[in-house]
Chains A and B, each alone.
Chain A
Amino acid sequence: MIDITMPALSPTMETGTLAKWLVKVGDVVKSGDILCEIETDKATMEVESIDEGTVAELLVAEGADEIPVGQVIARLAGEGEEAAPAKTGVVPAPTASNPPPSSEGDRAASGVVEGASQAPKPAPAPAPAADPVTGSTIAKSDGPPPPKAGEDLAVPAKTDGARVNASPLARRLASAQGIDLATVTGSGPHGRIVKADLEGASAKPAAQPAAAPSAAVASAAPAAEAKPTAPAAPAPAAAAPSYPPPASVPAEAIKLSNMRKTIARRLAESKQTVPHFYLTVDVRLDALLKLRGDLNKSLEASGVKLSVNDLLIKALGLALVAVPDSNVQFAGDTLYKFGRADVSVAVAIPGGLITPIIADAANKRLSVIATEMKDLAARAKDGKLKPEEYTGGTASISNLGMFGIKQFDAVINPPQGLILAVGAGEKRPYVVDDALAIATVMSATGSFDHRAIDGAVGAQFMSAFKALVESPMSMLA
């Protein structure tokens, strides 16, 4: 029998939701066939089989969530092995009673990323929390004896994936004190965590600013020395107080998608732990709009059409390079200063938002940015981004101008140091050469992490951005 386990589809993935089975017991699968769709905190991915055989058992029900990485989810009978008789009772996963995420919004929100085999190589395993099977998407176990189903399911669904080797007393103390055992080094036999190891271990803050995403940033950005500063143990969903809804109002209880949970956790973490400050500038767009028109005319033949946003992405990238002190990330006792500007672009998608990345935006030609962005946005809406396409980034841009929003303050996307919120370009009365004139102007507001970026640096950055947009020819230099 061949065990199919819950794969680690991203470096930070610890649990996943089995969104959908694409095979059933008795199906013959060969290498490359899609077995199921797994919904992670960021996306839904298809899992390919790397083995051949007959599906003998599906051990996890569709919709079951928080299945730890490494847990056996199905078994294949190899050649010559007798496929076990179809089990009528698929063993319910811990939360199998939850409705499968097949509602429109939920599915669309998470989308499907094809090619699980293309999942990024995990960053150097940073932590005790490292998944046992990060090396490959599907763990293969070709030797008998297969573990009994009961044993697999006995794995508590909400652990960190791997069994934590800790004494019962240490487990209880850690739980009472809010210590994440994954962050504790065991001194007992075979690394067992014992009571004494917890002395000195501090209770884990609700969320660590530099937690999960730092690994991705470090690998994506050329700042090679930027090592993850914390184990890639995603903080548990921020323990938000749960209030009942007003009794008299009809309400529908909607189970949060993994994406919604991630947004809730990370943005709550950002607002609670990152000291934001905001700087707003008004930027005249006339020159940029004219340049865009000219460029689009010349690009017409190639079928590429630049959007205002594409130019703003480039301007943001260049501004970050021009003011390197703004292209930074705060990480506890370390500050990472990046040698490249990777711009995360907030894209609204049904059920949430996602931030695909234009890597090295400062040095990319506008046509390249436009082409990439078009592709990324389209695939984002289909939920088909690969993890490496939306993890990392050194700064973000969010544009709500198309909705007529004049100005807004965005929430920093941790662990990044800044996000630029762009409003609508609109004709406004504008003073030009001491005379009142009409100009196309937009308001742009930067939100900065004051731990990493001070007001003056933020102002320099905003000023550089404004100068680039108002003299857009410099972007072509």
Chain B
Amino acid sequence: MTSESFDLAILGSGPGGYVAAIRASQLGMKVVIVERERLGGICLNWGCIPTKALLRTSEIYHYMQHADAYGLSVSGVSFDLAKVVDRSRKVAGQLNAGVKGLMKKNKVTVVEGEGRLTGATQITVKTGDQERVLDAKNVIVATGARARDLPGLAADGQRVWTYRHAMVPPAMPTKLLVIGSGAIGIEFASFYSDMGAKVTVVEMLDRVLPVEDADVSAHMHKALTKQGMTLVTAAKVSDVKPGADGVAATITTADGKATTDTYSHVIVAIGIIANIENIGLEALGVKADRGHILVDPYGMTNVPNLWAIGDVTGAPWLAHKASHEGVVAVEKIAGLNPHPFEIGNIPGCTYSRPQVASVGYTEAAAKAAGHEVRVGKFPFIGNGKAIALGEADGFVKTVFDAKTGELLGAHMIGAEVTELIEGYVIARQLETTEAELQETIFPHPTLSEMMHESVLDAYGRALHY
């Protein structure tokens, strides 16, 4: 069998893999990327992007139903679920084609098929009956992750869904149970609730969006409850039994009270599992821990010339984390001197209504880490633009180290905060203190003014509240 030689072979073409491929090509490497399904991976095809398309639909639908508040008269508002889904798929398709174009432009060889490592620096790809052997000086594993199933119950796509099924619903749920209140669970809960479903969200921990600041969780709990959702925290779901007419499930709260009900559909959003099986890692002795490949700050595994990036290497499971890791790994391979990034500088966003965005330490985590903190908080109701938008609910919270003025974290909930958070991320990356932020000019009228006010508030100087 003939083999082909490359400088770099990448297994998986998600936002980690394809970005790594582009960066490697920029640095003059001959690159091959292996994908078993669709270029762009989950993010483009089944994750970040298509869900944003769906959430845009539900947002507009929401506004149409509340058009009166803006002086508009709209009647007969309804939707065609198939068209809604079709739009989302077209958006994904457009981006998938875009990645194809990027690979072509950067002269990256794309090999479709199931790849597995047949050596530390060799990938064998099976496409149908054909096998193709790719040799490379370095290999990056970027195989991503998949949804975790409920113990003993695999999602079937009929009435029990993972995110993947939820993205292409064959029918509109009427009564939906969402298990898990992380970003994925909350986004689907928000989408289906806005589209008219009766939604119940169950969280095992004591608050929704448990990785976010406690104030954000509390605010989200209130906001979603006001929208008509039922949120049950510190609770477990058991006895999930799909039937012809629906899915029976039992919710047991911390006090031991069990309630059994029947739902039209169930979305399982209890986390993800890294795709580390059946790709030849075991035979190479690649070290893993709790389902994730162990890597150094540059993405190198314990096997020379074998690297791993993205979800396979662990939390946070975010596309932008994978992309950045891909760039760092490639630059390291190229002999440059990249910076391993600060994990506290990875922003997290939830695109529900209201939106949530954050970076860095929560107030509790900052205190637990031994920081004496100064906290600033500014509500949307104090911001002119928010009121003009009719989006006066939410807040911006900032956490500073009282001694050094370091911006330890920022936490926002409300309209458009996912577009605002990057200001604080840059601030953290540049290691600004409260002084620079206070001296920065924010345009009026914008939601961003709240970011300024929150910083001022941390030092008792808020102007508009």
Contact = CB atoms under 8 A, between A and B. Distances in A.
**Chain A interface category by residue count:** 10 to 19
B406 A176 contact: no
Contacts of B436: 168
A168 B404 contact: no
Interface in A105-146: none
Majority-rule SS of A interface residues: helix
B403 A168 contact: no
B435 interface: yes
B405 interface: yes
8 contacts: A167-B432, A168-B430, A168-B433, A169-B431, A170-B431, A172-B405, A195-B406, A195-B431
A281 interface: no
A419 B76 CA distance: 101
A194 interface: yes
Contacts of A169: 404-406, 431-433
Contacts of B432: 167-169
Nearest to B428: A169
Interface residues of B, number: 11
Contact of A172 (B339, B404, B430): B404
A167 B430 contact: yes
Chain A CB within 10 Å — which of B404, B405, B406, B431 has the most? B431
Nearest to A173: B404
Nearest to A176: B404
Contacts, number: 27
A382 B9 CA distance: 75
B431 A167 contact: yes
Contact of A176 (B339, B403, B431, B435): B403
Interface of A: 167-170, 172-173, 176, 187-188, 194-195
Interface of B: 339, 403-406, 430-433, 435-436
Please provide the 5 A-B residue pairs with the shortest distance between their CB atoms, ordered closest to farther.
A167-B431, A169-B431, A168-B433, A169-B406, A168-B432
A169 B353 CA distance: 35
Nearest to B437: A168
A105 B77 CA distance: 92
A194 B431 contact: yes
B350 to A, nearest CB: 28
Contacts of A167: 430-432
Contacts of B404: 169, 172-173, 176
A156 to B, nearest CB: 15
A168 B404 CA distance: 10
A195 B404 CA distance: 11
Nearest to A196: B342
Given A168-B430, A170-B431, 17 more contacts: A167-B430, A167-B431, A168-B431, A168-B432, A168-B433, A168-B436, A169-B405, A169-B406, A169-B431, A172-B404, A172-B433, A173-B404, A176-B403, A187-B339, A188-B339, A194-B431, A195-B431
A292 B195 CA distance: 112
Nearest to B436: A168
A165 to B, nearest CB: 12
B460 to A, nearest CB: 19
A260 B431 CA distance: 40
A179 to B, nearest CB: 13
Contacts of A188: 339
Contacts of A194: 431
B406 to A, nearest CB: 5
A182 B165 CA distance: 58
A188 B436 CA distance: 19
A188 B337 CA distance: 10
Contacts of A195: 406, 431
Nearest to A188: B339
A194 B339 CA distance: 12
Contacts of B433: 168-169, 172
B433 to A, nearest CB: 5
A110 B389 CA distance: 69
Contacts of B430: 167-168
Nearest to B401: A169
Contacts of B431: 167-170, 194-195
B8 to A, nearest CB: 25
A189 to B, nearest CB: 8
A188 B429 CA distance: 10
Nearest to B406: A169
A194 B406 CA distance: 12
A161 B111 CA distance: 57
A187 B341 CA distance: 12
A176 B435 CA distance: 15
B459 to A, nearest CB: 14
A168 B436 CA distance: 8
B316 to A, nearest CB: 20
A176 B406 CA distance: 13
Contacts of B406: 169, 195
A75 B245 CA distance: 88
A187 B339 CA distance: 9
A174 to B, nearest CB: 11
